[in-house]
C-alpha cells in the first residue's frame, strides 16, 4: 500500500471533507447565539454530535480492516475517507466548543483527538516516505530479508575461515565480533538502527595491540582500503607475522562488506519498524479518546 489512497477517485473524499469543513465554518459564521459560541448552543450540540459520529466511524475502520469478505467498498477508499474526514474533525470539534478550552475532561478529549490526528499524519508520512527508501536500500541486491541474513552468515563464515589461518588471536577477535553482531534485538534498536558498535570492539582490540605505533591505524569499520589504506594493511600484516598482506587485505575487505550489508539489514528493519510502530500509538490514543469522549458526553448530560 502506498499514498495512492490520497488521490483515490480523484480526491473524492478530500472534496467531501472540504465541503463538510466549509458548511461548518459558514454555519458557525452565520450563527448568532445570545451567549458566546460553545458546545451548549444548538449549533454546538449539532457539531458535537457530528464530531462524535465521525469518531465512532473512524474507530470502526479498525474493524473494517479485518473484515476481508465485506462488501462495504474497497479498503483503499475507506482509508482515503478516514484520512480526509479525520482531518475535518479538527475543524468540527474546534467550532463545536467555540474555541473554549479549560483544564477539564472536555478539553482532554480534544487534546487526545489532536494527538490521534497527529499520529495519523505521521502514519501517512511513513506510507509516503519509507517504501521508496526500502526499495532503494535493497536496490541492486534484489534481496529479501532472509536472503540478506544468509549473506551475512556467509560473510561471517568466510571471515572465520581466513582468520583461522591467521592465528588464534585473530580468530578469537573475529569470532567475538560475530557473536556481538545483533540484528533487530529490540524495538529500540530497530528504531535507532546503526551498527556503530558492531566492529568497534574488534577495532579497539587491534588498536591496543598496535597502540604504541607511530603509524595512524584506521578503524577497521571504515573503508580501510581507501586513501593509503595499503600502509595500514601492511602494518597489520606485520603484526601478525604468520599472515600475508593478501590475507589481511581479504579479511578487511570481507569485514567492510559485512559492515555495509549489516547496515542495510538494520535500515531495512528500522524502516519496517517505523512503518508499523506509529499504529500502536494511533490505536492506543484512539481508545483513550473514546473513553474521554464518553466521559465528556456523560458529564455534560449529568450536569445539564
- Site of interaction with ligand HEM (CB under 6 A): 38-40, 44-45, 48-49, 51-52, 55, 58-59, 61-62, 65, 79, 82-83, 86-87, 89, 93, 96-97, 100-102, 104, 106-107, 109-110, 113, 116-117, 120-121, 123-124, 279, 282-283, 286, 289, 293, 296-297, 300
Asked if residue 109 lies in contact with residue 295, where contact means CB atoms within 8 angstroms, the answer is yes
Q: Which is nearer to ligand HEM, 12 or 209 (CB)?
A: 12
Asked if residue 55 lies in contact with residue 93, where contact means CB atoms within 8 angstroms, the answer is no
Cβ 140 to ligand HEM, closest distance in Å? 29
Measured between alpha carbons, how far is 64 from 160 in angstroms, rounded to an integer? 52
Torsion of CA 30, 33, 37, 39, to 10 degrees: -110
Q: Which is nearer to ligand HEM, 265 or 293 (CB)?
A: 293
Task: Give the list of residues 6+ apart from residue 142 with CB closer than 8 angstroms, or none.
Answer: none
Sign of the torsion angle spanned by Cα atoms 14, 82, 102, 35: positive
Q: Which is nearer to ligand HEM, 102 or 140 (CB)?
A: 102
Query: What is the per-residue burial (b if ≥16 Cβ within 10 Å, else e) of 244-274?
Result: eeebbbebbbbbbebbebbbbbbbbbbbebb
Cβ 225 to ligand HEM, closest distance in Å? 44
Q: Which is nearer to ligand HEM, 48 or 243 (CB)?
A: 48
**φ, ψ for residue 190, nearest 5 deg:** -60, -40
Q: Which is nearer to ligand HEM, 59 or 210 (CB)?
A: 59
Cβ 143 to ligand HEM, closest distance in Å? 25
Cβ 133 to ligand HEM, closest distance in Å? 17
Cβ 7 to ligand HEM, closest distance in Å? 15
Q: Which is nearer to ligand HEM, 111 or 257 (CB)?
A: 111
The grid cell for 6 is 490520497
Cβ 187 to ligand HEM, closest distance in Å? 17
Torsion of CA 186, 187, 189, 193, to 10 degrees: 140
Amino acid at each position: 500500500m502506498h499514498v495512492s489512497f490520497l488521490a483515490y477517485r480523484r480526491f473524492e473524499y478530500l472534496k467531501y471533507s472540504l465541503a463538510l469543513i466549509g458548511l461548518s465554518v459558514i454555519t458557525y459564521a452565520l450563527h448568532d447565539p445570545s451567549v458566546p459560541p460553545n458546545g451548549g448552543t444548538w449549533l454546538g450540540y449539532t457539531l458535537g454530535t457530528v464530531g462524535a459520529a465521525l469518531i465512532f466511524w473512524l474507530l470502526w475502520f479498525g474493524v473494517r480492516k479485518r473484515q476481508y469478505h465485506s462488501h462495504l467498498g474497497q479498503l483503499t477508499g475507506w482509508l482515503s475517507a478516514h484520512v480526509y474526514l479525520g482531518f475535518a474533525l479538527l475543524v468540527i470539534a474546534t467550532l463545536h466548543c467555540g474555541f473554549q478550552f479549560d483544564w477539564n475532561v472536555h478539553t482532554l478529549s480534544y487534546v487526545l483527538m489532536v494527538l490521534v490526528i497527529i499520529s495519523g499524519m505521521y502514519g501517512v508520512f511513513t506510507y509516503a516516505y519509507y517504501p521508496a527508501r526500502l526499495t532503494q536500500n535493497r536496490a541492486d541486491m534484489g534481496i529479501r530479508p532472509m536472503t540478506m541474513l544468509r549473506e551475512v552468515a556467509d560473510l561471517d563464515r568466510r571471515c572465520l575461515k581466513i582468520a583461522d589461518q591467521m592465528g588464534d588471536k585473530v580468530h578469537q577477535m573475529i569470532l567475538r565480533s560475530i557473536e556481538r553482531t545483533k540484528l533487530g534485538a529490540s524495538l529500540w534498536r530497530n528504531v535507532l538502527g546503526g551498527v556503530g558498535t558492531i566492529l568497534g570492539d574488534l577495532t579497539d582490540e587491534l588498536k591496543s595491540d598496535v597502540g604504541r605505533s607511530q603509524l595512524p591505524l584506521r578503524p577497521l569499520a571504515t573503508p580501510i582500503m581507501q586513501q593509503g589504506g595499503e600502509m595500514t594493511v601492511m602494518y597489520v600484516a606485520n603484526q601478525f607475522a604468520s599472515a600475508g598482506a593478501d590475507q589481511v587485505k581479504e579479511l578487511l575487505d570481507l569485514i567492510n562488506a559485512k559492515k555495509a550489508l549489516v547496515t542495510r539489514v538494520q535500515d531495512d528493519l528500522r524502516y519496517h519498524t517505523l512503518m508499523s510502530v506509529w499504529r500502536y500509538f494511533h490505536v492506543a490514543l484512539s481508545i483513550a479518546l473514546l473513553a474521554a469522549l464518553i466521559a465528556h458526553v456523560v458529564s455534560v448530560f449529568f450536569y445539564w
